Amino acid sequence: MELGVFIAGVLLSGLRSATPLLYVLLGETLTERTGVVNLGVEGQMLLGAFAGFAATVVTGNPWTGLAVGALAGMLLSVVHGALCLGLKANYFASGVAVWMLGGGLSAYFGISMVGQRIDGFAPIPFGALAKIPVIGPAIDQITPTVFLALALCALTGFFLYRTRLGLYWRAVGESAEAASTMGIRPLWIKWQGVLAGGLLSGLGGAALSVDYTRNWIEWMTAGRGLIAVGLVIVARWNPLLALPAALLFGTTEALTLRMQTLGVNVSPYLLGTLPYLVCLAVLIYGYRRARSRGGMPRDLAAVFAKTE
């Protein structure tokens, strides 16, 4: 019973920890589906985290914070779109530039936000649910952002596989050339992909600062955006597989945080490497599978394989 409660606790707090990552993962999945890679999601997430937090401090309303954060992320993604789609710059280089800009701007303006505290979301009144055995004690880990993330997961899946526009997106990611001969405009679709990715990564950043940590520190995303880019490959560009992929990261993090309580006497810094190493390991596995079974959108494969 104790073990059950512990595991449920890890899973649920893992879910909570995975939530900001899940937003970015969904966003980058959408972007890569149209054949564009955006390493700048790390910067978009940072800017969203700062803007969302600042908005919540000012208005006192966490929902406003989420909206502002999403908007900030989307605005920053316009830079990536303009460079890559408008000016034909290299996707990776532009991503790094956007990452730097987002990180720099958020760190620069975020000075005033360091040390501020907010209340975040009002806890969901679970009522009777909180008394369910095993899961009950940890159910307060589920916050509104978690619900929203899960809903978005289903929504993006539906969009990609069940709508005509989603079909166009997938077609453009496979072969922009073939798509254009059928009258689709690839550039316009790619812009949509980039902006959607910007919106979601900004939202993810805001979820991180407004809901998860409820504070602001510069560079607080600690590479989550980059991890998301890696996990997109693991999730095989399928939004529905994004949840387990994000959970992998989240539960690893939740587990390492609990190691101390378990009496494991390993340096927290070494434990801190685990999420990154797990991500790397899964990335390698994902690559090996993609190599032998395919799954990467064709045009995107050209982007990853092309050098410079």
Partner 1 sequence: MKPFALNLPFLKTPTATALLPTGASALVFIGVSALFFALLGHEPFGLLWQVVLGAFGDKYSFTETLVKTAPILLCALAAAVPARLGLLTVGASGQFYLGAWLGTGIVLLLAETSGLVLLPLMLLGAALGGAAWSVIPGFLRARWEVNETLSTLLLNYVGALIVEWAVYGPWRDPGALGFPATRVLPDSIKLPTFLESRAHLGLLFGLVLAVGLHLLFTRSRWGLSLRIMKSNRKVAESAGMNYKLNVILIMAIGGAIAGLAGMCEVSAIHGRLQPGIALNFGLTGFLVAWMAGQHLIKIIPLSLIMGAILAASDALQLFYSLPAAIAVVLQALLFLSVLAVGGFLSKRKKA
Partner 2 sequence: MHVQMSGITKRFGETLANDSVTLGLGAGEVLALLGENGAGKSTLMKILYGFYAADSGGILIDGKPVVIDSPRAAMAAGIGMVFQHFNVIPALTVRENLLLAHPDAPALLPTRGAGQDDWLGTLKALAPDLDPGARVADISVGQMQLLELAKVLNLDAKVVILDEPTSVLTPLETQALYKLIRKIADEGRAVILITHKFEDVVTCADRVAVLRQGRLVADQSSEGMSADDLAAVMVGGGTIRHADRVAAPASAVARFEVRGVSAGDAFGSISEVSFQVAGGEIFGIAGVSGSGQDILADCLAGVRALSGGEVILDGVAVHRGGDGRPDIDNVGYIPERPLQNATAADLDLRVNLFLKKLSRFPFWLKWGSADAETARLLEDFDVRPRDPRRTAGALSGGNLQKLVSARELTGPRKVVIACYPTMGLDIGATQAIYRRLFAYAEQGAAVVWISEDLDDLMHFAHRIAVIFQGKILGTVTREQADRNTLGRWMMGAAA
Q: How far is the CB of 224 from partner 2 (least distance, A)?
A: 29
- State the binding string over 235-274 for partner 2 (x if CB under 8 A, else -): ----------------------------------------
Contact 69, 210 (CB under 8 A): yes
Spatial distance between the Cα atoms of 243 and 228, rounded to a whole number of angstroms: 11
Angle (deg, nearest 10), helices 144-162 and 239-258? 150
Q: Which of 30, 118, 226, 248 binds partner 1 (CB under 8 A)?
A: 226
The span of 7-15, 75-83, 160-168, 210-218 binding partner 2 (CB under 8 A) equals 160-168
Q: Which two tokens stand for residue 79?
A: 């830079």
Q: Does 292 bind partner 2 (CB under 8 A)?
A: yes
Whose structure tokens read 């710059």? 89
**x/- track of binding to partner 1 for residues 22-41 (CB under 8 A):** -----------------x--
Return the number of the residue (131 or 291) whose C-beta is nearest partner 1. Answer: 291
Nearest to 116 by CA among 65, 70, 152: 65
- In this structure, what are the phi and psi dihedrals at residue 91, rounded to the nearest 5 degrees? -60, -45
Instruction: Write out the DSSP string of 18-45.
Output: HHHHHHHHHHHHHHHHTT---TTHHHHH
Q: Which stretch binds partner 2 (CB under 8 A): 142-150, 164-172, 192-200, 243-251?
A: 164-172
Residues in touch with partner 2 (CB under 8 A): 161-165, 167-168, 170-171, 174-175, 177-184, 291-294, 297-298
